[in-house]
Amino acid sequence: MKIAFTSSDGTMIDQHFGQCEKFQIWEVGPDAAAFLETVQVAAHGSDEEDRIAARADLLSDCAIVYTMQVGGPAAAKLVARKIHPMKTATEVGLKETLEKLQEVLRNNPPPWLRKAMNKGQLASFDED
């Protein structure tokens, strides 16, 4: 699954969702994690509503976004797009966060995380 991180330097989760200038995008599974790309946030309108919507659209194929802080309206827009916001509240290491997440994935992930892992995968149905 793709996960976005609000990071100023690619090593720490140290930015507020609504104020970050870029997102670090990773592909994460139980046994492997790989950096995919840095996505720059462009200027999108002058009001907060436009900025939040543009950021959420940038992350549309991500299942989770880890951020130091996220406001209620922004979190609601992410959830509406099936992106789970994870607030760290303090600066934390990106690699350590990845390792902790992978440990949860290898063991017994909670239902919301199992659902996030399946984001973008279509259910297959047998036709009779």
CA distance 30 to 18: 29
Contact 27, 2 (CB under 8 A): yes
- Interval 58-93: pLDDT, tens: 899 999 999 999 999 999 999 999 999 999 999 999
Task: Give the containing element (helix H, strand E) for 12.
Answer: strand 12-13
What pLDDT does residue 116 have? 83
**Percent of the chain's residues with pLDDT above 70:** 88
Mean pLDDT for the stretch of residues 39-62: 79
- Least confident range from 36-45, 52-61, 65-74: namely 36-45
Q: Is the pLDDT of residue 95 over 50?
A: yes
Question: Which domains are delineated in the chain?
Answer: 2-112 (3.30.420.130)
Mean pLDDT for the chain overall: 87
- pLDDT category at 127 given cuts 50, 70, 90 is very low
